[in-house]
Copies of this chain bind each other. A is one copy, B any other.
C-alpha cells in the first residue's frame, strides 16, 4: 500500500573514525524512503535546491520512489556536517545550513492525499501538523522528533502528538519530553499525550517498543565495525513503516516483526557511508539478516 514520507533531503559531510565523505546523499526522507522502498511504494515530500545533483534523483527513481513531491527551490540544498568519535551513538554537529529548508512549506499533491500510511520525519512540529491537515484519514500516522523541537516548540509538538498513532524517538529525547528518567514511566507519560505506540531508539543497544500495555525489546545487530551511523534512525523507521505499509497489519505481532525489519535495515545501512549499503541490496540479504536477529535472540522456554 502507499506510504507517504515528509522530511529532509540533504547533502551530508560526515567524518567517523573509519573515513569521511563530503556532500554525500543524506536527509531523513532519503534514508527513510530508500529503506522503505524494499517493502512498499513510497511517496517522498521534501525540498531541494537547484544545486542538488540529478544522479541522486535518478537513484531515488531507480528505487521506485515517487519523487513528484520533491520540490526544487531557488537556492542551495540543506547541508549537514557532523562528526562521530568512537562512541558512534553520538553525533557532533559541526554545521547545519538550512538553505532552502528554512522556508519549506510542504504542499501535498492530490495524488498523495489518500496515502494509507504517513511518516512525518523530524521537522518542525507545526509543519508536521500542517501535513496532517492536508491528507485524508490515513490508516496509520507516525512521527519522529528531536531535542531541538522538544525545547523550542513543546506546545506545538504536543499538538502534533495528539494526532499521531506512533512516535519514534531516542532515549534521551523521550526522557526530556516526559521530564522523567525512567524509560517505562516516560513511555507511559508520552502515550498519554497521544501516540499509543512508541518506539524508543537506543542506537547500538537496539530499540524498545511500547505498544498499549506491552513492551518489546529488540537488540541491535552486533557489528564488528559501524562505518557511519548517519541516518540509522530514519533507516530503521523506513524498514519499520515500509513493512507495516506493505502488510497493513498493525497487530502486536506484526509491529514486532516491523521493529526487526527496521533493525535489519539500520544494521545494514551503518555498514557503509551515506546510503551506499542500501543502494543495491538483494531482498535475500534482508531476509538473511532477519534470520540472524532470530538466532541472536533465541532462547528456549523454561
A binding-site residues for B, Cβ under 8 Å: 17, 86-87, 181-185, 202, 205-206, 208, 214-219, 222-226, 253, 256-257, 259-260, 287, 290-291, 294-302
List 12 additional contacts besides A182-B223, A256-B300, A294-B299; criterion CB under 8 Å. A182-B225, A185-B224, A185-B225, A208-B222, A214-B295, A215-B222, A215-B296, A216-B298, A216-B299, A217-B297, A287-B302, A291-B301
**How many angstroms from the CA of A180 to the CA of B225 in the assembled complex?**
11
**Contact in complex: B218, A299 (CB < 8 Å):** yes
A181/B86 contact (C-beta < 8 A), A205-B205, A257-B300, A299-B257 known: yes
Complex copy number for this chain: 2
Q: Which of B218, B259, B302 contacts A290 (CB 8 A)?
A: B302
A94–B36 CA distance with the chains assembled, in angstroms = 50
Knowing A185-B224, A222-B183, A225-B182 touch, does A298 contact B256 (C-beta < 8 A)? yes
Interface centre among A86, A185, A302 (most CB of B within 10 A): A302
The smallest beta-carbon distance between A156 and chain B, in angstroms, is 27
Chain B residue, CB-CB nearest to A88:
B181
Tell me the nearest residue of chain B to A296, going by C-beta. Answer: B217
In whole Å, how far is A112's beta carbon from the nearest beta carbon of chain B? 30
Question: How far, in Å, is A136 (CB) from chain B's closest CB?
Answer: 32
A246 to chain B, nearest CB (A): 13
List the 6 shortest-distance A-B pairs measured between CB atoms, nearest first.
Answer: A217-B219, A86-B181, A256-B299, A205-B205, A184-B224, A290-B302
Shortest distance from the beta carbon of A23 to any chain B beta carbon, whole Å: 27
Instruction: Select the residue from A219, A253, A291, A295 with max chain B CB neighbours within 10 A.
Output: A219
Query: CA separation between A184 and B296, bound complex, in Å?
Result: 13
Using Cβ atoms and an 8 Å threshold, which residues of chain B touch A287? 302
User: In the complex the two chains form, what is the Cα distance from A287 to B302 in whole Å?
Assistant: 7
Contact A224 B300 (CB under 8 A): no
B224 and A296 within 8 A (CB): no
Q: How far is the CB of A72 from chain B (nearest CB, A)?
A: 39
- A202 neighbours in B (Cβ, 8 Å): 205
The answer to whether A217 and B208 have CB atoms under 8 Å apart is no
Q: Establish whether residues B222 and A219, one from each chain, have CB atoms under 8 Å apart when the complex forms.
A: no
